[in-house]
Amino acid sequence: MIILPHSKPPELEQLEALVPRYKRNDQTYQTIQDRLGKELAGYLGERSLQYYIKLLNLKDHFLLFGFRAKGNDSYFQIDLLLITQSFILIIEAKHLKGTLSINESGQLIQENEDEIEVYQNPLIQANIQRSQLSHLLSRLSLDLLPIYTCVTFTHPKSIININKNTTEIFPSQNLPNYIYKIQSQNQTPLVSTQKANTIAKSLKIRHTPKNNNLINYYGITDHLIKKGVWCTQCKSTIMKRIHGNWHCSKCNHKDKTAHLQALREFAVLYDRQYITNKEARSFLKIQSESTTKRLLSKFERKGDTKGSEYLLK
């Protein structure tokens, strides 16, 4: 049973709205673009685990995707957590392409085309998560099950060059077999199904998705962010509003409701629930106050006419 379903993290949504609007030649552009790449890879890796989990024929198990909570003193995040009556398994997904190996110092090396990237040993990362999780469960008086860890490579274009003795690291198609192996080693239930469910639900209550306001975090000034309504078809040009319709000069697409997507981006970018007429005019690049008022009339309004705000749901 899925207790915490897979979903897009708020920070990834922010980056997806921010990067295309960010001024290319600003020094922070590369940093946020790299951050988007990493977050997206993490999201895709976690998403691809769903397929292998569906192949499993486990009974009475509980799953939490992208669980993040406060451990000992800092936050920790687990790509997939499997809770059964006899064990807990932490599954760390790595969505990297190219040739992957672990060098003698224990670092993960990615060789892709002519580039070499170095990462922390993912098994050590998973073991840190284990100690954080174990600490949290002990605080909740729910440290009743042994915790196992594994690392799985989810990118279809990865070649894994890892010592055969390191059985906890494998490509994602081996995940079901790995889980069956752990299961066969832990056949005696240590807790009831209800208790396993309680463990999963108690963790879910403590789930805290990462949601930094990146504009504040990087101190991004407003002039670095491009305003306007992206074309909903080619997604590469800002549309113009002509006779009550949004037009794209590049692909000729017309869309009466293209501003809705832009308003969603405003909410995500600035972490806002409400927008004023003035802010909407500036963000949608519309001159007319009455046109903007008409576009916002579909949203719930609060406040008097002068200072009214519209709820962006």
The residues binding Zn ion (CB under 5 A) are: 231, 233-234, 248, 250-251, 253
Least spacing, CB of residue 150 vs Zn ion, in Å: 44
Strand partners, 255: 246
User: Token pair for residue 191?
Assistant: 């807790």
Q: State the pairing for strand pair 240-242/115-119.
A: unpaired
- Smallest gap, in angstroms, from Cβ of residue 249 to Zn ion? 8
Closest CA to 153 of 104, 106, 102: 102
Give the residue with the Cβ less far from Zn ion, 185 or 249. 249
To the nearest whole angstrom, how small is the minimum distance from the Cβ of residue 224 to Zn ion? 23
The nearest distance, CB 16 to Zn ion, in angstroms, is 18
Dist. CA 9–CA 127, nearest whole Å: 23
Q: Which is nearer to Zn ion, 167 or 245 (CB)?
A: 245
What are the Cα distances from residue 242, in Å, to 239, 257, 261, 298?
9, 13, 18, 20
Give the residue with the Cβ less far from Zn ion, 125 or 232. 232
3-state SS, residue 4: strand
How many whole angstroms from its chain centre is CA 84?
A: 25
CB of 240 to Zn ion, least distance (A): 11
Q: Within the chain, where are the H helices?
A: 10-18, 29-55, 122-139, 175-185, 193-205, 214-217, 258-269, 277-284, 289-296
Q: What are phi and psi of 106, to 5 degrees?
A: 85, 10
Tell me how far, at minimum, the Cβ of 237 lies from Zn ion, in Å.
5
**CB nearer Zn ion, residue 210 or residue 250:** 250
Do β-strands 2-4 and 62-70 pair in parallel, antiparallel, or remain unpaired? parallel
Query: Smaller CB distance to Zn ion: residue 77 or 232?
Result: 232
Is 53 or 248 the residue whose CB approaches Zn ion more closely?
Answer: 248
